[in-house]
Each structure stands twice: as structure tokens, then as C-alpha cells.
Chain A
Amino acid sequence: MSEHVDTSRRRFLGGTAGAAAGISIAPGVFLNQVAQAKPADQPVSSDNRWGMLIDTNKCGDGCDACVRGCMEENGWGDIHNSEPHSSPEQKAQWIRIVELRDTSTGYAHQLPLMCQHCKHPPCVDVCPTGASMKRADGIVLVDKHICIGCRYCMMACPYKARSFIHEDLQDQLVVAPRGKGTVESCTLCVHRVDKDGADAVPACAEACAAEGHDAFVFGDMNDPNSEISRQLALHGGTQIRADLGLDLGVRYRGI
């Protein structure tokens, strides 16, 4: 079962010890402060909903920096020589570059596609064990401790975001345990999010910025003052296959 998610409206200031949203300068008077990362001993909360906005107009032609950044951070893919016995179709792919071409005009561009961290995730709906789960803060993960490798979630995901590991692995990275017989996908760099909260930068976004493209904005879609919320309010954003009504955590501009 996934964690109980508090869908009621945000609790008033001071509801939880970990909120630390303001500094009291006098009784009842608060100085607003930038949201802090949660302390390590506090659970995540549905006060946050982490998401990403990707401006595909900023993508460099043929650039795959985000994919390589993800590989490096999470230990999958060729640069780690992970899954050397699997065919290219079998190998894990947490994030991929998808090329789009308008056949009438010939206009072509690309977008990075990873788990969309659906608010209503079909992968979670179908999982028979509860391994496929959504955290209170909207990050969708596979609990590999109880994944039986049936791959229903892979079939249910409309975005082909999940991979199955076919062979024994060694030397996984501490931040991303992964192994044979289980399913995996983009974690939104959950280890970074848990550490740095709203200041976190997922590895794909970091690699993109290092390349000078700055196509990614990560942030809290529940916080109206976050960069991602302001940009979405200002310019809007597209959800891929919005018709499915899954309320995606990853939004795009330029597609």
C-alpha cells in the first residue's frame, strides 16, 4: 500500500515540527523564509509536490547531457557498463531522448522523457504487491524489497518509463540500489530531494545547466512562489497525453 496521502488543504503554520516555514520575531509575527530542506528524521509530506518543467526549445540539437547525467548519478547505462549481458532493448533506460518530427512541415525537435511522476499513477494501480508506490510528496518509486518482477507496471505505464533488470549487478551506487528481477525508473533523484528539499537539483537538470541549456526547472508545484509554479502560471505547460487525466509531475514547454 502506498503511504497515506494527506489531501486536505495545507495545515496552518506550525502544524508540524519540520515545517520551519518562518522565524518568530514576536508572538504572532513571522518573518517569511525560503523553504528549508526537511530534517533527516522527518517524513516527507503532501505539503510538497515535487515536479519538473522542461522547455524543449532550449534543448541543444542532438544533446543527451541529461541522459548521461542521470546515468552517472544513478549508476545505470553504458558509462557504468551496467547490464553487459542484456540487449539494448533490455537495458535500463531511466530517461531517454525522444525525437519528434512533424511530417507535414518536416520540423523536428527532441524532448527528454522519463517517469512523469503521475498524481494518479497507473503503475501503482496495477501493482499486485504494493511495491509500485507514490510517496506523500508525489514522487513515484518502486520498493524493490517487495517487487516480484511481474512487470505489470511496465505494461500499465503510458510513457514507457520503466525498465526491468535481467541480470546480476554489482557495485551499484549507494544512492540508487538496483538489482536483478526488479523494476526501476526515474526517482526524481529522490536522494537529492530528501537532502536539499526545494533547493535540490536533479542530476539531469544539473547536467543540462552545465551544458548551458538550462531547459529544466525543478521545484514544488504546491508552492505558488516556487520558480516552477510561477513559470507554469505565467506561460503554462503541456502534459504529454493530458487526455489520460493522470495529472503529471513533469510538464513541458515547446511541444
Chain B
Amino acid sequence: MTRLFQSLQSLALATGMAFLAIPLLASAEVPRPDIPEANARYSEAQGCVEPTEEMRKNHMEYILHQRDETMRRGVRTKQYSLEECINCHVPKPESGKVVRSDSKEHFCSSCHSYAAVKIDCFSCHRDTPMPDADTTMHRLGSGKAHHFTGTEAELTADALRAVTEEGLQ
């Protein structure tokens, strides 16, 4: 049996199958990130403000765009604001448990530490929700609650259109 295994192994090495074995070993050693669940949803149908796949790949583009729009032009829509990312994805600093960006339990850091990409946001931005923060998104288990709970001035043009189409004025 042992001999059979050895010969199989040398066969694998000889045919280059070892290259397949290495990533398998690596994934056993570096656990996939444990991504904390958000505490709200964008809508009944959709988790995040764009489909999850899109957000995983391109969240930085949305944040960068929003950053310049807000900073330079005073546009303060909520959909892609970093404040809302944090409100939705990081637990409130209550019950004594404060999850900061240097912890792997922090939503952003859970992935960024895995991918070894440094985040610079939190040297200036707060990494936890404000104690009185509430998200404009859909609280999990909130039943019929609609996520457009901002005042009219806080709604984006798109959101307004959506609300009107749904007849929810």
C-alpha cells in the first residue's frame, strides 16, 4: 500500500500534478476570511447596495467616486457613503464589544487582512458606527420597512423615482 502511494506520488510529481496539490495545501493553511454578516439589507431582493459580486470586486470605485462627490461638490447621498458601509457592516460599539478596523472581526479587515491590502480610510474616518447611528438600509427582519427612510432631501433622484414607481410617495 505504502509502495503504491509512493509510486503514485512520484507519478504525480513527474506529471506536474504537484502543482495542483500546492494550492490545496495552501488553502488548508490559510483559512478563508470569516466575513461578518451585515445587519441590514439594501432591499428585500438585494443584500448590498449593488449585487454582492460587484461590491466584492469594485467597492473601492464606488467609495472613491462618492468621496470626491461629497468632498468637492457637497453631494451627500447615502447609497455609497462610507458612513453607511460602517453602519451596516460593523456592530455598534454597545454591549462593551467594540470591533475596530485593526481586528479581523471588523468587516473591512476580515478580507483586507486576508488579501494583504492596507486600508487607509480609518486613519481619518471612524471605524465604528456612531452610538446613535441608524442605517437608511433595510434592517434585517424589519418586515415591511422600506429602506428609503431618509427625509426627502436625503433621497437620491433614483431613489425618488423608485419610490414614485412603487406608488409609495
Q: Which residues of A are in contact with B by a Cβ distance under 8 Å?
A: 2-3, 37-44, 133, 135-137, 141, 143-145, 168-174, 177-182, 190-191, 194-195
Contact = CB atoms under 8 A, between A and B. Distances in A.
Interface of A is mostly: loop
Contacts of B153: 37-40, 195
10 contacts: A40-B78, A40-B154, A41-B75, A41-B157, A42-B75, A135-B72, A173-B130, A177-B124, A179-B124, A195-B76
B125 interface: yes
Interface of B is mostly: loop
A178 B71 CA distance: 13
A3 B74 CA distance: 11
Contacts of A42: 75
Contact of A168 (B76, B123, B152): B123
B80 to A, nearest CB: 12
Contact of A190 (B74, B127, B133, B154): B74
A2 B124 CA distance: 21
Contacts, number: 76
Interface of B: 67, 69, 71-78, 83, 100, 123-128, 130, 133, 150, 152-157
B93 to A, nearest CB: 9
Contacts of B100: 170
Contact of B74 (A2, A44, A172): A44
B164 to A, nearest CB: 14
Nearest to B156: A41
Given A41-B157, A174-B83, A145 B123 contact: no
A3 B75 CA distance: 13
B159 to A, nearest CB: 9
B46 to A, nearest CB: 20
B73 A177 contact: no
A174 B155 contact: no
Contacts of B123: 168-169, 179-181
Nearest to A36: B153
B156 A135 contact: no
